[in-house]
Amino acid sequence: MTGRVVTGRTNGAGGVERVVFNDKMWETRPEMFLTELKQRIRDVRQGRDGLIYLLTEETDGAVLRLEPAD
């Protein structure tokens, strides 16, 4: 699995696309999320704690931590 930042079609909108690959490394299932933020996502990194961190690039931007759902 991997993820990639996807820019929005309108200024200031975007999201993250999670992509699942099969054993031949072909993309099998893309899944968009965080589009409701309506902010440009500048960077995505995995922290030492194993969680995913996002940096948004807006006047009121933020560093966001993604945690697994219960």
Chain segment 18-34, per-residue pLDDT in tens: 888 899 998 888 888 88
pTM, to two decimals: 0.62
Residue-averaged pLDDT of the chain: 79
Residue 70 domain-assigned (yes or no)? no
Q: Is the pLDDT of residue 7 over 70?
A: no
The count of domains in the chain is 1
- Inter-residue contact 18 to 31 (CB < 8 Å): yes
Strands 52-56 and 41-46, bridge-based pairing? antiparallel
Q: Is the pLDDT of residue 58 over 70?
A: yes
Domain that holds residue 13: 2-65
Residue 51 domain-assigned (yes or no)? yes
